Amino acid sequence: MRILVDSVQMKQCDKNTIEHYGIPSLVLMERAALGVVEEIEKEFHKQPGGQEILLVCGFGNNGGDGLAIARLLWQKGYAVTVVMPPGDKQASKEAQVQMDILERYQIPIIRRIPNREFDMVVDALFGIGLARELTGLYLEYVLEMNEMRAKKVAVDIPSGINSDTGAVMGAGFYADLTVTFAFAKLGLLLFPGVEYAGEVVVKEIGIDRCSFLDAKPATFCMDAGDLSEIPSRKTRSNKGSYGKVLTVAGQKNMAGAAFLSAKASYLTGAGLVKILTPAENRVILQQLLPEAVLVTYDAKEGALQNLDAGGQKDVKAACADALKSLKESLAWASVVVAGPGLGTGEQAKAMVKEVLGCAKVPVILDADGLNLVAQYPEWLKNAKCTVIVTPHLGEMARLARKDIPSIQGSLLETAKEFAEEYHVICVLKDARTVTAMPGGIAWVNTSGNNGMATAGSGDVLTGIIAGLVAQGMEPQYAASIGVYLHGLAGDAQAAENGTYGLMARDILKGIAHVLKNL
C-alpha cells in the first residue's frame, strides 16, 4: 500500500524532516536532484555523449531542484541549457544557493527558450505549491516546451497541474516521465493530471512515513502486495467455510446483472451464492450459473399510484411474497448484494428498504438500489449494518444532489463527504475509482483500463467485493482491494485481447487469472 499526499501534507512532511529530524533542506534538494538524474540516465540507455538537455527552472525549491539537476548532468558530460525567467531576487534561499553554484561552474542561465532541437526537456518551473493559473512568460514556457519533440521530464509534478486535484490551471506540461519525491501526489493520479504526468516514478530522498510525526496519512493506493490480504484457502474446509452471498438482483427479464454479480462472487472465492430474483429469470440463470442457489418470487411492476384497485392488490400481494423470501434469505447470508438490475418499482422499493432496515450483515448497494436510496436517503442513515455503496458518476449525482462536472472535479472530496455524512463506505466509480471511509481514510485506485467502461462491469465489481466480505475480509479492505482486483482482472484481459472488445464476461475470466498467482 502506497501513501498519497496533497500539497499541505507534503509541505508539512518536508518541514518536519528539516526542523524535527534536522536534515538540511539543501541535502533533500541534492538527493532529489540525484534521483532525477538517475532516471534521466536510464532514458538514454548509454554513457553520456553530449546529449542536449534543456532545463526550464522557476524560482522556488522546484526550480532549485532543476538547477541542481543541471549541474549534475553537466558534470556527467551532458550539454545543458538552463532557462529561468527574469527576476532573480524572487528566488528562494535554496534556489539562490543553486544559482550561485552554477555561476561558479560558469554554467550560464538564459531567459528565453532557444529555437533549436533538444534531446530532452526538463520542467522544473513550479512544484506542488502552484495554486493559480499559468500566465505571461510562464505560460509561454510551458506551451513552447509542449511543442518540442524531445523526451519530456517533469520534476515532482508537471507545471500547471494542481497537486491536490489534478486540475489543469490554464495549461499543463505534458510529461513522458514525472519523477516525484517521497510520496506520489494526488494530482498525479487523478484526472486530468494523470494524462499530463506520463510514467510516474517516486524517489526516496529522506522524507518517509516518520515525517508525518503525530499526524497520520489518510489517502492510499493499493499495490500488488495488498492482494496478500485476500483470505487464504484452508486445506480442510467446505463450502460453508467461505461465506454465503445473497444477491438480490434482476427484475423481470433482466437476468444479466444478477448473473455477472453472482458469478464474480463465486470466482472471488465465496462458498455459496443465492440469487433472489423474479421467477421469469429462473431458467436463464440455471443455465448460466447452475452453481447458484435460486429463490424466485412473482414479479409485479408499476407504481401503486398508477394502478387501479385490482392492480394495487396484486402488487401488494407480490411484495409480501417477495419480502417473505427475502427475510428468510437475510437470516442465511454472510453478506448481501442489493440492486443490480433490480428496477425501481414497488417490489424493488420494498425489498431495498427491508434489506437496509433488517440486515445484520454487511450490505453492498449498487445500481437500482442506489437509485432508490437517492429518493429515500433516510434508509441509509437508519441502516443498522455496514453499508458499501458503489455509485458511478450519474448515480452519485443523484445521491449527493450535485452535477457530474463538479463531482469529477472533486472526486476524492465528494466520496469522503458522502461516506462521512451517511456513515457508509463509498466506492465512487470513475476512471480513477475512489473508496472512502467514514473518518476520512480513502484509497485511489490505479488499476484498470478504458475497455472496462462497458455494461455489466459494475455488477462484476459488486460481486467481487461481496465475495471478499463473505470470506471474512473487513468491508473497508474488501471494498478497496476489490476495486483493485477488479481493475487488475480487466488489465489481464486487455493485455490478451485489447480494450475495444472487452466485455464484463471477460473481466470475470480475468479474476481467475489474477487470483491464480496469489
Per-residue pLDDT, averaged over 305-333, amounts to 77
With beta carbons less than 8 A apart as the criterion, state whether 361 and 334 touch: yes
Sheet containing 177-181: which strands, arranged edge to edge? 109-110, 79-83, 52-57, 120-124, 151-155, 177-181, 199-203
Phi, psi of 444 (to 5 degrees): -110, 125
- Whether 379 has a pLDDT exceeding 50, the answer reads yes
Q: Using the predicted structure, report yes or no on whether residue 310 has a pLDDT greater than 60.
A: no
Mean pLDDT of 92-101: 97
Is the torsion defined by CA of 505, 426, 11, 196 positive or negative? positive
- Coil, helix or strand for 293? strand
Judge contact between 145 and 121, C-beta under 8 A: yes
Residue 194: count other Cβ atoms within 10 Å of its Cβ. 18
Q: Which amino acid is at 410?
A: S
Asked if 250 and 278 count as a contact pair (C-beta separation under 8 A), the reply is yes
Strands (E), 130-248: 151-155, 177-181, 184-185, 199-203, 219-221, 244-248
Rounded (5°) CA angle 473-475-477: 70
Angle at 161 between CA 155 and CA 166, to 5 degrees: 115
- Distance in angstroms (rounded) separating the CA atoms of residues 190 and 217: 18
Query: Strand 434-436 and strand 425-428: pairing?
Result: antiparallel
pLDDT band of 314, cuts 50, 70, 90: low
Judged by DSSP in three states, 80 sits in: strand
Domains of the chain with bracketed CATH:
2-221 (3.40.50.10260), 240-516 (3.40.1190.20)
The reported pLDDT for the residue numbered 307 is 45
Task: Report yes or no: 468 and 427 within 8 Å, Cβ to Cβ.
Answer: no
Q: What is the mean pLDDT of residues 432-460?
A: 98
Mean pLDDT of the chain: 95
